Amino acid sequence: MTLILGIESSCDDTAIAVVNTDRTILSNRVFSQSDLHADFGGIVPEIAARAHAERLDIVAEAALTEAGVALGDIDLVAVTSGPGLIGGVLSGVMFAKGMAAGADIPLIGVNHLAGHALTPRLTDGLEFPYLMLLVSGGHCQFLAVTGPDEFTRMGGTIDDAPGEAFDKTARLLGLSQPGGPLVQAEAESGDPKRFAFPRPLMDRPGFDMSFSGLKTALRRARDKIVEEKGGITRQDRADLCASFQQAVADVLRKKTARALTAFAAEHGATTIAVAGGVAANTAVRAGLQQAARDAGFTFTAPPLKLCTDNGAMIAWAGWERYRLGQSDDMTLAARPRWPL
Ligand code: KG4
Ligand code: ZN
């Protein structure tokens, strides 16, 4: 076994990669749909499903060409079979079945979250066990990763994911999407202490978090400024962004510190890895690195392109399962809900 084709279409990226089992990524194509959804203020499932169906073969062709291989050279097809938007997952699974049947090679379904959680093994060769913090537009959870198929959810958000909160903040302040990077850019010239936004659950025991109250507080603060002054200035906006970002970073830092202590006590290991778009945020990342340093942990963050949705992580997670002796057949089903 050497070459794996990884297919990801569970959200708004059509992504396909060719990965060698020696951990070399031969190609990693991501076709983002964000332009298609931009006018709707969020992902429209029907548009996403159609776009995946239309683009999967184009992206596959590009991934194979870039890798310099033909379908006949591929040894295993791995595909996200959940969780995610049903239309996209179905498109990917059907496409993968066609590829596997056409080339007469094995097929394996991968849990999207397992893909994220195993990425540091692809990028850094991390050994089990390690703690994974997944912080993206759709997810926020602490996972104790003890084997290719062994994930224990220690806690996570009970409502919005942080990326979702960043995106809603951007929308409330008239910035475009995806909002995270724009909120971060605004925050650079803002005062993180001007608004005392709530940090729900932060000082409670456990590892659960909540981010939905934050956007309500932000909206109130914005409305109050508008009421008093008739509009918000650039500085107001920067201060709102900075204060919001600081609240998110504080919650993640504190909860991570607590999760590190519990993880080390239970597993006797001191490695944390992060994944997801929000891990790219400089304030969030600084907080996480601080928490890791304080607890004597090694901090690993895969390159951004592999932190966000991609096919390489699916290829790798498929290989990790396959070499345990697992595989799927043509009955592989899409599972829109599939907790790890
Ligand atoms: O992991 P990802 O690409 O997609 C999934 O949600 O699976 O994460 C995208 C999210 C978006 O909500 C985006 O606004 C956020 O990550 N994001 C950021 C930054 N870069 C991306 N949030 C805060 N700061 C950033 N620099
Ligand atoms: Zn994802």
Write the CATH number for 283. Answer: 3.30.420.40
Q: Compute the distance from residue 280 Cα to the ligand 1 centre, in Å.
A: 8
- 210 labeled binding residue: no
Give the range of the structural domain holding residue 43, as residue numbers without chain letter.
3-120+308-322
Cα separation, 53 vs 43, whole angstroms: 16
Relative to the CA of 177, which ligand 1 atom is closest? 14
Q: Which two tokens stand for residue 35?
A: 């332009």
Cα–Cα distance, 80 to 64 (Å, whole number): 18
Long-range contacts of range 259-265, CB-CB < 8 Å, 24 or more positions apart? 259/131, 259/133, 259/142, 259/154, 259/155, 259/207, 260/131, 260/291, 260/292, 260/295, 260/297, 261/295, 262/154, 262/207, 263/131, 263/142, 263/144, 263/154, 264/295, 264/297
**Residue 53: per-residue pLDDT:** 87
Q: Does residue 25 lie within any of the structural domains? A: yes
173 and 296 assigned to the same domain: yes
**Sheet with 76-82, side-by-side order of all strands:** 25-32, 13-20, 3-8, 76-82, 107-111
Q: Is 155 assigned to a binding site? A: no
Cα(250) to centroid(ligand 2), Å: 23
142 within domain boundaries: yes
Question: Which ligand 1 atom sits nearest the alpha carbon of residue 164?
Answer: 12
pLDDT score recorded for residue 117: 96
Q: Are residues 205 and 165 part of one domain?
A: yes
Q: Which ligand is closest in space to the CA of residue 115?
A: 2
Residue 128, domain member (yes or no)? no
Question: Residue 281, annotated ligand binder?
Answer: yes
278 annotated among ligand-binding-site residues: no
Same domain, 296 and 191: yes
What is the number of the ligand 1 atom nearest to the C-alpha of 282?
A: 26
Same domain, 264 and 177: yes
Backbone angles phi, psi at 117, to 5 degrees: -65, -25
> Binding site annotation covers 296?
no
**Residue 98: inside a domain, yes or no?**
yes
Same domain, 45 and 171: no
What's the sign of the alpha-carbon dihedral 306, 308, 311, 317? positive
Write out the residues surrounding ion ligand 2, Cβ under 5 A: 309
Residue 29 lies in a domain: yes
Minimal-distance CA residue to ligand 1 atom 22:
180
**Per-position pLDDT tens, the chain of length 340:** 799 999 999 988 999 999 999 999 999 999 988 778 777 777 888 888 898 889 999 999 999 999 999 999 999 999 999 999 999 999 999 999 999 999 999 999 999 999 999 999 999 999 999 999 999 988 999 999 999 999 999 999 999 999 999 999 999 999 988 899 999 999 999 999 999 999 999 899 999 999 999 999 999 999 999 999 999 999 999 999 999 999 999 999 999 999 999 999 999 999 999 998 899 899 999 999 999 999 999 999 999 899 889 999 999 999 999 999 999 999 999 999 998 8
Say how many Å lie between the CA of residue 113 and the centre of ligand 2.
7
Identify whether 159 is part of a domain.
Answer: yes
**Atom 6, ligand 1: residue with shortest CA distance:** 137
> pLDDT value at position 45?
84
Asked if 336 and 86 count as a contact pair (C-beta separation under 8 A), the reply is yes
On whether both 83 and 174 belong to a single domain, the answer is: no
Task: Give the distance (Å) from ligand 1 centre to CA of residue 307.
Answer: 9
| CB distance 252 to 292 below 8 Å | no
Residues 216 and 93 in one domain: no
- Residue 235 has a pLDDT of 97
Alpha helices in the chain (DSSP H): 34-37, 45-67, 86-103, 112-124, 162-172, 179-187, 212-229, 234-267, 282-294, 304-307, 311-322
Quick one: 53 and 107 in the same domain?
A: yes
Q: Does one domain contain both 154 and 284?
A: yes
Helix (H, G, I), strand (E, B) or coil at 60: helix
* ipTM of the complex in this document: 0.97
Instruction: Tell whether residue 309 is among the known ligand binding residues.
Output: yes
Number of domains within the chain: 2
Residue 141 domain-assigned (yes or no)? yes
List, in sequence order, every residue forming a beta bridge with 147; answer none if it has no partner: 150
State residue 152's pLDDT score: 96
Same domain, 7 and 93: yes
| Ligand 2 center from residue 309 Cα (angstroms) | 5
> What is the distance in A from the centroid of ligand 1 to the CA of 308?
8
Same domain, 312 and 282: no
pLDDT at 51: 87
Q: Which protein residues are within 6 Å of ligand 1, measured from CB?
A: 11, 136-138, 163, 166-167, 178-181, 184, 276-278, 280-281, 308-309
